[in-house]
Amino acid sequence: MLADVGDHLLGALGTTLTQLLWLLGPAAACALALHQLERLTGAALAGTFGWRSVLVTGWIGVPVHELSHVIACLVFMHELEEVKLFDPDPEAGTLGYVRHSAPAANPWAEVGRFFIGVAPLLGGGVALYTAARLLLPGAELGGLTAHDASLPVTQLAPLAFARGAHAASAILSLDHVTEPRFWLFLYLALCVGAHLAPSARDLRGALRGAVALFVLGFLVNLVASAFGGIPSSVIRGAVGLVAPVTALLVLATALSAVMLVLVLVVTSLVERARGARGHALRFLVSHGARLALIAIAIGAFAAAVALT
């Protein structure tokens, strides 16, 4: 009897972990890469131009970041206590913030902590996509956010990666180099990408919500297992809804990587004019750990795709 109960619990646990891998694995890998790319870009700018360089990107990127939190708070019934969309404070090291609280004993609000914490990833991805559609109407982006609930789960993550990579190549096409709107888009991409990733405080809140999300998923699977489990069509539909988000994050990751390269080129030229040589190489060596984390994130994405 106890063995049967143990098998039942382990089965629900394994199912929940697999489902979360399908739903969040590729997106989590992109989030890790974006977090490191943001830190590298910020360090490159600050190292050459000082802390105030963040104002050049922050006046657009920070409000996008904070508004993403605000919208998620409203969706998940959190009370907004104080909102600063852009309020640079060099002493505190903050550029803006959203203070919020969740109603007691509300599972929806508790799970929402995860989505509130990671909301800037989605908000930034949507902002980049919208800017590309408006400024580069000739770029082929139509399929990026398509919903494919009819496809097998194993095909959705590779498809999301392919669509995000295709959108990035369409945006960064050499055909756009002579268009002023392209360079405006690159500036907007730098602004958004430099403030896209959740902060350490955001991630702490997201972790608490992730625990609640896992517990909820485990309980649902535990109950559903007595009735044959959650229908595959439901899982496929859920993963299909997440796939466009993953595609947006792949696009954001690719654009952020390109922005980092461009920032390193510009800062290297400035440092060279100041008499310093080898700036880019020194920067890459001194931030080897972050580059390693980006490589790990790419490997994790590949692993998530393979395991699904």
pTM of this structure: 0.85
Structure tokens that stand for 256 in this block: 């952020």
Minimum mean pLDDT among 44-48, 94-98, 243-247, 297-301: which range? Answer: 297-301
Q: Tens digits of per-residue pLDDT, 41-73? A: 888 888 888 888 888 888 999 999 999 999 999
CB atoms within 10 A of CB 179: 13
Average pLDDT of the chain to the nearest whole number? 83
**Bridge partners (DSSP) listed for residue 97:** 84
The CA-based dihedral angle spanning residues 57, 60, 63, 64, taken in that order and rounded to the nearest 10 degrees: -100
For residues 213-217, give the mean pLDDT: 85
Please, is 292 exposed, middle or buried when counting C-beta atoms within 10 Å of its C-beta (0-12, 13-18, 19+)?
A: exposed
Q: Alpha carbon 196 to chain centroid distance? A: 7
With beta carbons less than 8 A apart as the criterion, state whether 122 and 27 touch.
no
Question: What is the dihedral sign for C-alpha 139, 145, 147, 151?
Answer: positive
DSSP assignments along 147-209, one per residue: --TTS-HHHHHHHHHHHHHHHHHHHT-GGGTT-HHHHHHHHHHHHHHTT-SPPHHHHHHHHHH
Please, is 161 exposed, middle or buried when counting C-beta atoms within 10 Å of its C-beta (0-12, 13-18, 19+)?
A: buried
Could you tell me which of 238, 209, 207, 255 has the C-alpha nearest to residue 33? Answer: 255
For residues 280-288, give the mean pLDDT: 83
- With a CB cutoff of 8 Å and minimum separation 6, the contacts of 287 are 40, 43
- pLDDT at residue 74 tops 70: yes
d(CA 18, CA 27): 14
**pLDDT score of 174:** 83
Helix (H, G, I), strand (E, B) or coil at 81: strand
Q: Tens digits of per-residue pLDDT, 141-171? A: 767 777 666 666 666 677 778 888 888 888 8
